[in-house]
């Protein structure tokens, strides 16, 4: 799950600079998430992906935010909507959802949770 979040955050830059993403191009290799061999490499990739996405998104103009952006699988368009909607729905909401899942997994393993929206129960102990 942490690997998925790390790869997912990098899509912000792809969404900001391109007009579409094809996860299964006809005649080409399908998208395969980057596997990480260690926690350190995953954390480095996360930081790199966050920086790249922040920079790319910060450079968007209002007109670029309303341009259509599409996710395709070969000849099939999975969705096409304004870039701003893709960033909000398929990037931010998706990351928030998985961050919540990761928090539950950590809690079940008795790992102290970092503060997300203010002090946690762990900090009150």
Count other Cβ atoms within 10 Å, centred on residue 54. 14
Q: Report how far residue 10's alpha carbon sits from residue 5's, in angstroms, rounded to the nearest whole number.
A: 9
Residues 6+ apart with CB under 8 A from 92: none
pLDDT tens per residue across span 42-68:
999 999 999 999 999 999 999 999 999
- Give the pTM: 0.85
pLDDT tens per residue across span 66-113:
999 999 999 999 999 999 999 999 999 999 999 999 989 998 998 888
The CATH number given to 2-124 is 1.20.120
Per-domain residue ranges for the chain?
2-124
């Amino acid at each position: 799950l942490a690997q998925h979040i790390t790869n997912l955050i990098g899509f912000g830059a792809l969404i900001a600079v391109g007009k579409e993403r094809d996860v299964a191009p006809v005649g080409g290799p399908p998208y395969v998430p980057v596997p990480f061999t260690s926690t350190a490499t995953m954390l480095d990739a996360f930081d790199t992906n966050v920086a790249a996405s922040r920079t790319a998104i910060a450079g968007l103009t209002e007109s670029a935010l309303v341009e259509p952006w599409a996710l395709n699988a070969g000849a099939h368009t999975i969705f096409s909507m304004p870039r701003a909607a893709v960033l909000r729905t398929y990037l931010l909401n998706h990351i928030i959802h998985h961050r919540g899942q990761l928090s539950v997994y950590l809690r079940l393993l008795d790992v102290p949770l970092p503060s997300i929206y203010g002090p946690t129960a762990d900090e009150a102990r």
